[in-house]
Amino acid sequence: MKKVAIVADENLLLGTWKLKSFVQVLETGEHYNVYGERPDGYISYSADGRMYAIVTSDGRPTPRDENPADDELINLHKTMFAYAGTYTAQGDKLIHRVDISWNQSFTGTEQVRHYRLDGNVLTITTAPNTFTIEGREGPLVAVWEKVKAPTR
């Protein structure tokens, strides 16, 4: 399979994408909103082969203080994910090689995804897995929309 060239004119993944939805598709066909109905997040792919992703749940409570209490920290950690590293794309396969992450168990791993581009919409799907918060099994599907460059 042909690798996606890391050249701005040829690589349609390049740029920043804003999260529109993040669901787990269960065996029943049900779509489970893993991070709520309106999660927030960004994923970005750069020409130097680097990427980052950060997602937060909708309705995250603001801690009472700038230095959150332990229970608040736990909740904040459970309602987000973030990682960065390098990426390659081959056909419809996208591989994120994680250099740093919110959850140290991701660091040093390869996260293999499938992706589809449809105009300014990027859909990224994982292999079926058991999502750790709810214990449900099925692929995770994230839909992203390309962020337009600001006008000056």
What rounded mean pLDDT belongs to the chain?
Answer: 89
| Mean pLDDT, residues 102-115 | 96
pTM of the model: 0.86
Looking up tokens 């000056």 gives: 152
Write out pLDDT tens, residues 28-69: 888 889 899 999 999 999 999 999 999 999 999 899 999 999
CATH numeric code, 15-146: 2.40.128.320
List the chain domain ranges: 15-146
% residues pLDDT > 70 (the chain): 90
CA distance 48 to 119: 23
pLDDT class of 7 with cuts at 50, 70, 90: very low
Write out pLDDT tens, residues 15-35: 999 999 999 988 888 888 989
